[in-house]
Amino acid sequence: MRIGILGTGNMADALGTQWVRAGHRVLFAGRSPDRARALADRTGGVAGTFEEAVSFGAAVLLALPYAAALDTLTALGAEEGALRDRVLIDCTNAVGPGFVLTTGDGPGAARTLADTTGARVVKAFNHLPDPVWRLTPPAFADGPVAVPLCGDDEEALETVAALVRDLGCVPMVVGGLDRAAYLEATTAFLIGLWHCGHDPRTLLPPFEAATA
Ligand SMILES: NC(=O)c1ccc[n+]([C@@H]2O[C@H](COP(=O)([O-])OP(=O)(O)OC[C@H]3O[C@@H](n4cnc5c(N)ncnc54)[C@H](OP(=O)(O)O)[C@@H]3O)[C@@H](O)[C@H]2O)c1
């Protein structure tokens, strides 16, 4: 598969490296062409512009801060349809000081991205920090990491599910884009717990106990 990545930071590096390793052709794009080229050289991908990343292949990973994403996509012609029907993987966490969602009580990030761009947005990979995505495979004692996916388009969900499996993880479709805001809020909550030194795993009973 050909995958365009918007961003050259931690998430672009973590996921892009895995997908190159899995045999995909990955184009990295950032506001610094030098950083994009360095990342491409190191991982075995190619470097390009944001415009090229959007039109490169079957999927586009949005690996920018949410605060920068809408402006960047608008500058690319999102409102004129430049991303219409593209499979856009949204891994952003719009989390501000105090671990509060900067999207407030309004539509969440994924919903807003879909409404703004007309892209087939799938929320994915936002719920864990990049060091986990760098593991080969991302797995712990309980087994491979499950990756919750939210999206409204079956084909887009299957495309992203395949990319999840390529990491050695297990895709878990948890609903449409109307559920993505819950995943975003859950992640903000998790980030807050981790930063305060609490282990969220201790909050949860075994599955059988919760569903008895
Ligand atoms: N890192 C994690 O553990 C993690 C986990 C899950 C989700 N996420 C989410 O994934 C996204 C990327 O996170 P990251 O950790 O990869 O961030 P990062 O390492 O800080 O990289 C951010 C990327 O966005 C670019 N960027 C920043 N501001 C920009 C602007 N105004 N216009 C255009 N490009 C801009 C940066 O370019 P420069 O290099 O030129 O600054 C860089 O390429 C975020 O939405 C984050 O919430 C992160």
| 186-197 pLDDT per residue, tens | 999 999 999 999
For residue 16, the one-letter residue type is G
What length does the chain have?
212
Residue 212 falls inside a structural domain = no
Give me the helix-helix angle, 154-166 and 10-21, nearest 10°: 80
Residue 181 falls inside a structural domain = yes
pLDDT exceeds cutoff 90 at 81: yes
Establish whether residue 15 lines the binding site of ligand 1, counting it when its CB lies within 6 angstroms of any ligand atom.
no
Residue 79 DSSP symbol: G
Residue 76 DSSP symbol: T
pLDDT exceeds cutoff 90 at 105: no
- How far does the centroid of ligand 1 lie from the alpha carbon of residue 208, in Å? 38
**Pocket perturbation via mutation, ligand 1, pick of 13, 31, 76 by most ligand atoms within 8 A of CB:** 31
Establish whether residue 130 lines the binding site of ligand 1, counting it when its CB lies within 6 angstroms of any ligand atom.
yes
| Torsion of Cα atoms, 32 then 33 then 38 then 44, to 10° | 130
72 — phi, psi (to 5°)? -65, -45
Residue 168 falls inside a structural domain = yes
Residue 140 falls inside a structural domain = yes
What single string gives the DSSP state of each residue in 90-138? Answer: E----EEGGGEETTTTS--HHHHHHHHH--EEEE-STTS-HHHHHSSS-
Residue 48 falls inside a structural domain = yes
Give me the helix-helix angle, 33-43 and 10-21, nearest 10°: 30
143-174 pLDDT per residue, tens: 999 999 999 999 999 999 999 999 999 999 99
Confidence at 184, pLDDT banded by 50, 70, 90: very high
Establish whether residue 10 lines the binding site of ligand 1, counting it when its CB lies within 6 angstroms of any ligand atom.
yes
- Which residues are CB-neighbours of 142 under 8 A, at least 6 positions away? none
Residue 106 falls inside a structural domain = yes
- How confident is the model at residue 174, as a pLDDT? 98
If one counts the domains in the chain, the total is 1
Determine the structural domain holding residue 110 and report its residue range.
2-200
- Of 114, 118, 95, 116, nearest in space to 183 by CA: 95
Radius of gyration, CA atoms only, the chain: 17
131-142 pLDDT per residue, tens: 999 999 999 999
Residue 49 falls inside a structural domain = yes
Note whether 45 and 28 are within 8 A (CB).
Answer: yes
Residue 145 DSSP symbol: P
For atom 5 of ligand 1, the residue with the nearest CA is: 129
* The pairing of beta strand 2-6 with beta strand 25-29: parallel
Give me the CATH number covering residue 51.
Answer: 3.40.50.720
Burial of 184 (0-12, 13-18, 19+ CB in 10 A): buried
Establish whether residue 134 lines the binding site of ligand 1, counting it when its CB lies within 6 angstroms of any ligand atom.
no
DSSP bridge partners of 5: 28, 61
Residue 209 falls inside a structural domain = no
